[in-house]
Amino acid sequence: MRLSFSWGGIPVVPFAYQKARMRWSASVDAVSTKVIAVFVAFVSEWVCMNDAVVANMGLKKARFCMLIIDTFDAANQPSRLGTQWLAFSDQVMGGRSQLRVWHDRVDGRACLSFAGMVRLENRGGFIQVALPLVTRSHPFRADHFSGIQVVVKGYGTPFYLHLKTASLRLPWEHFEAPLPVAKDWQTLHVPFAQFVPRGTGERLDLTGLTRLGIVAGKAAGEAHLAIAQVAFY
């Protein structure tokens, strides 16, 4: 089919054809942009999780990326590491704190919520949600990240982040950093440098993380926390 003709020796393209071609070009550009965005996100996460790639690129483990662990888009869905969140309280050691955990939507955001009453009887005093970081029998390597990022809102007793490593053997051993939660949504960045050892003389080994915990405790009272995102940055 002929789509052009000449006028005075100058090729002319019908306006309708030009308009259709512009629409098609815009659609291709939009699709290309989305494909590139998905590809960049995939490569970024893959590079972040592969030390060999970091070394081969000569980056010397620079702090150059963020790895999102969970956004809680659907109930009972595994984290992006393929592991499931766990919930437990001081009742595992004879305490009397109470805990409830559920998939939630708060202010339009999908999230994991946990709430309960922290009690100090029987040497108790905590409620917790925790994510195993071991995949295919290998601990998580976080030595090319700077810390942990969480998007949260909550109230009540003090909140903390806990980390466990492969070198820790006793249940009460962990590394702890405060989590300054507020009643409005916040994006909090907790550097690894803020984690201090509890119940152990070990140093935090970022090459062998086995579990990440989000904890309410150390004081009696009500606690409520909504978690919309967890990431390493």
pLDDT in tens, 164-182: 999 999 999 999 999 999 9
pLDDT digits (tens, 9 = 90+) for 17-52: 455 555 655 554 554 545 544 444 455 555 555 554
How many domains is the chain built from? Answer: 2
Judgement on whether residues 142 and 205 belong to the same structural domain of the protein: yes
Judgement on whether residues 37 and 81 belong to the same structural domain of the protein: no
Phi, then psi, of 32 in degrees rounded to 5: -60, -40
Evaluate whether residue 94 is within a structural domain: yes
Report the CATH number that the domain containing residue 142 is assigned in CATH: 2.60.120.430
Tokens of 55: 């070394």
Judgement on whether residues 71 and 135 belong to the same structural domain of the protein: yes
| pLDDT for the residue 165 | 98
Domain that holds residue 144: 67-232
Judgement on whether residues 30 and 124 belong to the same structural domain of the protein: no
Phi, then psi, of 28 in degrees rounded to 5: -60, -40
Evaluate whether residue 29 is within a structural domain: yes
- Angstrom distance (rounded) from CA 110 to CA 113: 10
| pLDDT for the residue 3 | 46
Judgement on whether residues 37 and 104 belong to the same structural domain of the protein: no
Judgement on whether residues 221 and 158 belong to the same structural domain of the protein: yes
Judgement on whether residues 72 and 131 belong to the same structural domain of the protein: yes
Residues lower than pLDDT 50 in the chain: 1-13, 15, 17, 28, 31, 33, 36-41, 52-63
Judgement on whether residues 36 and 90 belong to the same structural domain of the protein: no
Judgement on whether residues 30 and 71 belong to the same structural domain of the protein: no
Judgement on whether residues 106 and 34 belong to the same structural domain of the protein: no
Evaluate whether residue 57 is within a structural domain: no
| pLDDT for the residue 201 | 96
| pLDDT for the residue 65 | 80
Evaluate whether residue 111 is within a structural domain: yes
The SS3 of residue 88 is: strand
Judgement on whether residues 73 and 106 belong to the same structural domain of the protein: yes
Evaluate whether residue 79 is within a structural domain: yes
Angle at 177 between CA 176 and CA 179, to 5 degrees: 130
Judgement on whether residues 149 and 112 belong to the same structural domain of the protein: yes
Closest of 231, 149, 232 to residue 186, by C-alpha: 149
Evaluate whether residue 205 is within a structural domain: yes
Evaluate whether residue 18 is within a structural domain: yes
What global pTM score does this model have?
A: 0.74
The shares of helix, strand and coil residues in the chain, as percent rounded to the nearest 5, are 20, 40, 35
Evaluate whether residue 208 is within a structural domain: yes
